[in-house]
Amino acid sequence: MKALLHPDLVNGRTGDPALFLDFQFARRAFLFDIGDLHALPARKILRVSDAFVSHCHLDHFVGFDTVLRLSIGRVATIRLHGPEGLIAAVAQKLAAYTWNLADKYAADLAFVVQELHEDGSRRRARLRLRNRFVAEPLDPPDLPSGCLLDEPALRVRAVTLDHFIPCLAFAVEEARHLNVWRNRVEAEGLPIGPWLGPFKQAVASGAPDDTAIAIDGLPARPLRDLRHLVTVERGQKIGYVTDIRGTEANITAAGELLAGVDILFCEAAFAAEDAAVAADRGHLTTREAVEIARRAGAKRLEPFHFSPRYADQDDRLLREVREFFSGAP
Ligand SMILES: [Zn+2]
C-alpha cells in the first residue's frame, strides 16, 4: 500500500497530545488534539484544515492559541470537531482577546466548529474574525451517523468514550486509491490527458464493463478494454484514541470504531502494574492499549501520552507493549 497520509506525534510519546497528519500530495493536514504546538513549524500549522479535539483538558487544547496567532490574516477557514462543549470552549478562548480592530485585517478567519454529542446529535457554529468571533449557529452537516467528515477521498468517524467526561476517539479512513499505469497507457497509443479523470471515476464508482469511456481526441472505448490500465489499492486507516477509562465498554467501542486499522495511536499512560492509578485518573495502561489494538486487529500500535511519572522510562512502557503485541515499535 502506498501511504498518502503521514502521521507524526508532535511531542513524541511523552509530551502533550497532538498528532499531525500530513497529506502527501496536497497542502493540507489534520491535527488530532491541540496540545502544545511549539515543536511544530508554522508552515505545517498553516496547512491544518481540520483539527479533531478529543476533549478540552488543558494538555489537549492549549495549542489553540498558537493556531489562532499564526492563522489570523493567512488562513480563511479552520474546521474544528469535538465533543459537546467545544463551541463554548472555542468561543470563550476567543472572547479573552480584544477584537476592536477586527475589520482592519485584510482577510477574514472563520472557525467552523462541529460538536458530536453522546446521543449522536450534532451542533455546529461559525466564529468569524469580522464578526469578532461571536458564535453564529449553523445547521449541522448532513452526514452518516458518527461521521465528522465525509469526502470522496476520505472520511473521519468518531465515537464517544468515557473519561469521566465524554471524550472522542477518531478513525480516518481513506477511500481506495486508483493508480494509472502511465507506461501501459502510452504503450496502447493512448494520450496522458484529462480523459483519465472521468475514466478513474468510472472505475472507482463501479461502473459496468460496457460503459463508454471518452478518450481525448480518439473514439470512445468500453470500460472493459481499459481496466488493465489502473490498479486499485485499499486506502489507509489510522486511529487516534486517548484519555479513556480502561472499561470493557470503552475497549469494545474503540475496537469497533478502529476495526482493521493500519496504525493505531493509543494512549498507554500507565504501566500495567499501576492499573489502580490509571483507573483512578481515567486513563489506559499499556495492557489496555494492547487490548484495544487486538480487538481492532491493528497492524501497528503506536503507544503515547506516557505519564510524566515514567520520565526517561519510555523503554519500560514500550517493552510492556511489545511483550503483548507484535505490531509495536
Ligand atoms: Zn484528559
Neighbours of 77 (CB within 10 A): 14
Cα of 243 vs centre of ligand 1, distance in Å, is 5
Cα of 43 vs centre of ligand 1, distance in Å, is 28
Cα of 211 vs centre of ligand 1, distance in Å, is 53
The confidence score (pLDDT) of residue 25 equals: 80
Domain ranges of the chain: 1-161, 177-233
3-class DSSP state of 227: helix
pLDDT at 32 over 60: yes
The confidence score (pLDDT) of residue 328 equals: 80
Cα of 45 vs centre of ligand 1, distance in Å, is 23
Residues 272-297 have pLDDT tens digits of: 999 999 999 999 999 999 999 999 99
Q: Which three cell numbers stand for residue 78?
A: 479552520
The confidence score (pLDDT) of residue 75 equals: 82
Cα of 58 vs centre of ligand 1, distance in Å, is 8
Residue 78 makes CB contacts below 8 A (sequence gap 6+) with 48, 49, 50, 51, 67, 71, 109, 110, 111, 112
Of residues 206 and 309, more confidence is placed in 309
Distance between first and last Cα of the chain: 19
Cα of 10 vs centre of ligand 1, distance in Å, is 18
Residues 95-130 have pLDDT tens digits of: 999 999 888 888 999 999 999 999 999 999 999 999
Question: Are residues 208 and 202 in contact, defined by beta-carbon separation less than 8 angstroms?
Answer: no
Cα of 193 vs centre of ligand 1, distance in Å, is 50
Gap between the Cα atoms of 110 and 71, Å rounded: 10
The neighbouring-strand residues paired with 124 are: 114, 138
95 backbone dihedrals φ, ψ, rounded to 5°: -70, -15
DSSP states of 19-71: EEEEETTSS-EEEES----TTS-HHHHTTEEEEE-S---HHHHTTHHHHHHHH
Cα of 57 vs centre of ligand 1, distance in Å, is 5
Going from the C-alpha of 17 to that of each of 55, 209, 217, the distances in angstroms are 11, 48, 53
The neighbouring-strand residues paired with 135 are: 127
Cα of 237 vs centre of ligand 1, distance in Å, is 24
Question: Are residues 13 and 304 in contact, defined by beta-carbon separation less than 8 angstroms?
Answer: yes
Q: Which of 201, 311, 292, 214 is CA-nearest to residue 253? A: 292
pLDDT at 4 over 90: no
H or E segment at 233? strand 230-233
Q: How confident is the model at residue 60 (pLDDT cuts 50, 70, 90)?
A: very high
Cα angle value 76/82/83 (rounded, 5°): 145
The confidence score (pLDDT) of residue 84 equals: 98
Q: Which three cell numbers stand for residue 204?
A: 472507482
Cα of 84 vs centre of ligand 1, distance in Å, is 15
pLDDT at 2 over 70: no
How high does pLDDT run on average in the chain? 94
Gap between the Cα atoms of 87 and 84, Å rounded: 8
What proportion of the chain, given as a percentage, has pLDDT over 90?
Answer: 82
The confidence score (pLDDT) of residue 177 equals: 80
Mean pLDDT of 62-67: 98
Cα of 55 vs centre of ligand 1, distance in Å, is 7
Residues 123-159 have pLDDT tens digits of: 999 999 999 999 999 999 999 999 999 998 899 999 9
Q: Residue 137 burial by CB count (10 A; 0-12/13-18/19+): exposed, middle or buried?
A: exposed
The confidence score (pLDDT) of residue 246 equals: 96
Which stretches within 144-282 are classed as H helix? Answer: 182-187, 196-204, 248-257, 275-281
Gap between the Cα atoms of 80 and 308, Å rounded: 28
Q: Which of 8, 50, 1 is CA-nearest to residue 28? A: 50
Gap between the Cα atoms of 128 and 110, Å rounded: 4
pLDDT at 3 over 80: no
Cα of 61 vs centre of ligand 1, distance in Å, is 10
Residues 181-231 have pLDDT tens digits of: 999 999 999 999 999 988 988 888 889 999 999 998 889 999 999 999 998
pLDDT at 1 over 80: no
Going from the C-alpha of 180 to that of each of 102, 196, 197, 206, 258, the distances in angstroms are 48, 8, 10, 16, 30
The confidence score (pLDDT) of residue 184 equals: 93
Q: Which three cell numbers stand for residue 240?
A: 487516534
Mean pLDDT of 260-281: 97
Mean pLDDT of 298-314: 94
Gap between the Cα atoms of 73 and 70, Å rounded: 8
